[in-house]
């Protein structure tokens, strides 16, 4: 009888230890997932804030050229710096860690950063034409390139803001994540 009590005690202890190990394992997995989600949220918000600041600054300078209150050659350094920053931000977005559901959002960030890079190249092209000694009949082409580039910079900046807002809700239970190209009511 005493042996049976000892065996039952050992079996109960083993079962309790297994249940505890299973609980610790699941809790560890939950904590790791939560840490990954929070890291993604914070990194995406930080990246979006820096992108917004960079694009806002260069967009203001481009707008001055577009309105002819600033010479085109005066912003070439700004455009080069913004292009370099956008490329670095795109590389940073490619390395952005995140939960499995955040891959589409990360790809959208990258696409918008590439769009901003192309827009800055377009503005640079227009400024090069305006800065050349002989414009000839290409002034309209230069103004069009600058305006299209400017608008694309603004659109990319706004899209990145929207994606940053969506990144803040990644992993929130019970909240449906809208698809990337879903129609939205304005």
Q: Kindly report, residue by residue over 56-81, the tens digit of the pLDDT.
A: 999 999 999 999 899 888 999 999 99
* Ranges of each domain in the chain: 43-167
Of the options 1.20.81, 1.20.140, 1.20.120, 1.10.287, the CATH number for the domain spanning 43-167: 1.20.120
> Helices 139-167 & 2-66, crossing angle to 10 degrees?
160
pTM across the whole model: 0.76
pLDDT at residue 173, rounded to an integer: 60
Mean pLDDT of the chain: 86
């Amino acid at each position: 009888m005493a042996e049976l009590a000892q065996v039952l005690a050992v079996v109960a202890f083993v079962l309790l230890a297994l249940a505890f190990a299973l609980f610790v394992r699941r809790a560890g997995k939950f904590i790791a997932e939560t840490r990954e989600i929070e890291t993604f949220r914070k990194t995406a918000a930080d990246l979006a804030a820096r992108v917004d600041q960079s694009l806002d600054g260069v967009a203001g300078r481009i707008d001055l050229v577009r309105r002819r209150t600033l010479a085109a050659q005066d912003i070439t350094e700004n455009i080069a710096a913004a292009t370099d920053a956008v490329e670095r931000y795109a590389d940073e977005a490619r390395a952005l860690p995140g939960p499995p559901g955040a891959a589409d959002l990360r790809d959208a960030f990258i696409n918008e950063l590439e769009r901003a890079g192309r827009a800055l190249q377009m503005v640079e092209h227009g400024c090069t034409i305006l800065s050349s000694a002989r414009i000839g009949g290409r002034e309209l082409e230069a103004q069009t390139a600058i305006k299209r580039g400017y608008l694309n910079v603004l659109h990319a900046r706004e899209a990145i803001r929207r994606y940053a807002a969506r990144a803040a809700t990644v992993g929130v239970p019970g909240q449906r994540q809208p698809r990337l190209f879903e129609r939205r009511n304005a």
